[in-house]
Amino acid sequence: MKKGFVSLVAVGVLALLTISSSVFAEGKNEELSNKLINHHVEKTLPPGVIDPLKLEHLKLEFKNSGSFNRMSIVGKDTTSEDPLFEKEPNDDFSTANSMVNERSMVGQLLPLYDVDLFKVNVPSEGILVVGGVTNSYAIELLFGAVEEEFEENGFIQYLGSEYDDDVEMQFYQVNKAGTYYIGALDYDNEYGIDDNTVEDLYAIQSVFIDDVEPEMPIVNEVTTSSTSVSGTAEAGSTVRVKKGETTLGSGKSSRERIYSVSIAPQPVGTVLTVTATDSAGNVSREANVTVTKDMINRIAGTSRYSTAVAISQEGWKTAETVVLATGIDFPDALAGGPLAYKENAPILLTKPTSLTSETELEIKRLKAKKVIILGSKGAISLEVEAKLKNMGVVVERIGGKNRFDTAALIAKRLPSNQAVIAYGFNFPDVLSISPYAAKNGVPILLTRTDKVPAETLSAMSGKTNTIIVGSTGAVNDSVMKQFPKPVRYGGKTRYDTGKEIITKLPMGTDKAYIATGRNFPDALAGSVLAAKNNAPILLVNLHDIPPATNDLISNYDSFSIFGSEGAVGEEVKKALDLALQNN
């Protein structure tokens, strides 16, 4: 208990109290008064409960509180800094006046045994500070915070008190958010003394200190290809990602506690530190995550055009040359992989009559000086060609009168004594052979099932051996026999053919690329990147890995998926994850 005096009295105060307190506390509340007295314990706040700097700041706040000292403005329009005034009856828990944190409540303690009760909402665990002061030595102010009806559930615990001039500050540890009650009485009541008058006032004020650190963030796996750190943390907290003393990025956790902080990809073995800071400045314990080698990553965009751009960005910082194919149909582009590899050029896709914006931006990012268009003006229009020229790049078109002619023209750019022969009216077999053909500089020529086009026969001049891809249903035996030293790689399905090619024409085993076997754009654009990394392309279905492809999975240490979940579903990624764990 601490008596004190500050100038609370002003002419307007008494006028307002007389009006607002139409009913003074009536009767003797001796029982309630005694309960509050018996509940009260007084001790000095132990060191370390509150940070010393924060404590000094708090003392100044109470001492200089506008709410405690702005009594002279009563009678004018009130503001958020002006005090509130008790309203009788408020002498039991059901009629307790509502208080607002950081705003004073002014009252009188009349008649004898008057007890004033106030309720305050505490938003979370933390420290509740209650300050009290009087303007008269006639009031020996006793106050304290309790649970409703003096329950003792351990939700609020008295820590100790601090005194500064005329202000007593009581500190309570709140262990559960909720409503708590502050009782105030004149301690002289204990002796039946009633020497205060309507001019004798007290003021109390509560402050909530959120001193509870947020939970340590949960951090998802971070790999060498990760461009963000994600996970869960306290809602609304600021999540920071650091490498040593360097902050890599920060971001806010959502209402659902989810965060994602953008970072630059980090080398394997890098230790990242993640913390969450709440609105009160409390910082969580550090969560550490070590960057691991990327076992599975997805290279994808929102469309076939942006996926091709994503593949380009994965493999090329800059490129002198870009190979451009239509994203609508496959024939002209089927044979383009080996040429693009020879030119160290990514394959980008466009619409036939307009250059897609994402492709245009990627050509600019690559600082390309030349674009090779695959196909005639029916595949990629003259308008697209003109657009490219206006961008300041040299444009070369390789386009024949049909798909067989275009493939033959491309083959002239690849000096090899070997050729790949594939069915020209479907794409899966070419997707499987393309990385191998590109890596080894072998041109891809096209044929009909039962007849070799003249353009293809002409392009075979000087070739000494031939790879035939696909079963007899794609390229029959009579066609096969027209080529020099032919060796067939084919199976019952596109996936069996892929297995045959990859098993008998092996590439590296560090990585394999995964693509849908049901469409061509992603694997076509990815074939050059696969060749650059000496890696095959394995074909899958949308939701599962076919048995023939699954037989190959255990041969590889990591995977990259071409295309979004609309092309290669999350079920496939999970199956790949499981396969790697079991390796």
Residue count of the chain, please give it: 583
Q: 325 pLDDT exceeds 90?
A: yes
Q: For 30-39, 256-265, 520-529, which range has the lowest pLDDT when averaged over its residues?
A: 30-39
pLDDT for the residue numbered 189: 63
From the number of C-beta atoms within 10 Å of its C-beta (0-12, 13-18, 19+), residue 482 rates as: middle
Per the CB < 8 A criterion, the answer to whether 283 and 275 are in contact is yes
Q: 20 pLDDT exceeds 70?
A: no
pLDDT for the residue numbered 306: 95
Q: 577 pLDDT exceeds 80?
A: yes
Task: Read off the tokens for 273.
Answer: 């530190």
CB atoms within 10 A of CB 432: 30
Q: For 81-85, 158-162, 267-271, 523-527, which range has the lowest pLDDT when averaged over its residues?
A: 81-85
CATH of span 219-294? 2.60.40.1220
Mean pLDDT value across residues 19-42: 62
Angle at 546 between CA 508 and CA 292, to 5 degrees: 45
Residue with more model confidence, 61 or 277: 277
Instruction: Give the contacts of 508 (CB within 8 A, at least 6 positions apart).
Output: 533, 534, 535
Rounded percentage of the chain residues whose pLDDT exceeds 90: 70
Q: 460 pLDDT exceeds 80?
A: yes
Q: For 196-200, 435-439, 477-481, which range has the lowest pLDDT when averaged over its residues?
A: 196-200
Q: For 13-22, 257-266, 295-304, 409-418, which range has the lowest pLDDT when averaged over its residues?
A: 13-22
pLDDT for the residue numbered 93: 94
Supply φ then ψ for residue 454, to 5 degrees: -60, -40
Asked whether the whole model's pTM tops 0.75, one would answer: no
Confidence class of residue 143 from pLDDT cuts 50, 70 and 90? very high
* CATH classification for the domain delimited by 11-209, as one of 2.60.120.380, 3.30.465.10, 3.40.50.920, 2.40.128.720: 2.60.120.380
H/E segment holding residue 38: helix 30-39
**pLDDT tens-digit series, residues 61-81:** 776 654 444 433 333 344 555
pLDDT for the residue numbered 542: 96
Per the CB < 8 A criterion, the answer to whether 142 and 186 are in contact is yes
Three-class SS state of 48 = coil
pLDDT for the residue numbered 56: 82
Alpha helices in 391-453 (DSSP H): 403-411, 428-439
Residue with more model confidence, 28 or 226: 226
Supply φ then ψ for residue 8, to 5 degrees: -95, -15
Per the CB < 8 A criterion, the answer to whether 261 and 228 are in contact is yes
Residue with more model confidence, 353 or 15: 353
Q: Kindly report, as residue ranges, where domains of CATH 2.60.120.380 are found in the chain.
A: 11-209
Rounded percentage of the chain residues whose pLDDT exceeds 70: 90
304-315 vs 521-532: helix crossing angle, rounded to 10: 0
Q: Kindly report, as residue ranges, where domains of CATH 2.60.40.1220 are found in the chain.
A: 219-294
**pLDDT tens-digit series, residues 373-420:** 999 999 999 999 999 999 999 999 999 999 999 999 999 999 999 999
Cis peptide before 111 (omega within 30 of 0): yes
Instruction: Give the contacts of 513 (CB within 8 A, at least 6 positions apart).
Output: 435, 523, 526, 529, 530, 535, 536, 537, 538, 559, 560, 561, 562
Mean pLDDT value across residues 266-270: 92
Q: 332 pLDDT exceeds 80?
A: no
Beta bridge partners of 451: none
Q: What is the dihedral of CA 316, 320, 322, 323, to 10 degrees?
A: -120
Instruction: Quote the CA–CA distance of 101 and 121 in Å, as a whole number.
Output: 8
Question: What letter represents residue 426's amino acid?
Answer: N
- The chain-wide mean pLDDT, for the chain, equals 88
Q: 5 pLDDT exceeds 60?
A: no
**pLDDT tens-digit series, residues 216-245:** 999 998 988 788 899 999 999 999 999 999
Confidence class of residue 25 from pLDDT cuts 50, 70 and 90? very low
Supply φ then ψ for residue 375, to 5 degrees: 110, 160
pLDDT for the residue numbered 65: 59
CA of 478: how far to CAs of 61, 363, 486, in Å?
A: 96, 44, 11
Residue with more model confidence, 34 or 186: 186
Residue with more model confidence, 6 or 548: 548
pLDDT for the residue numbered 193: 67
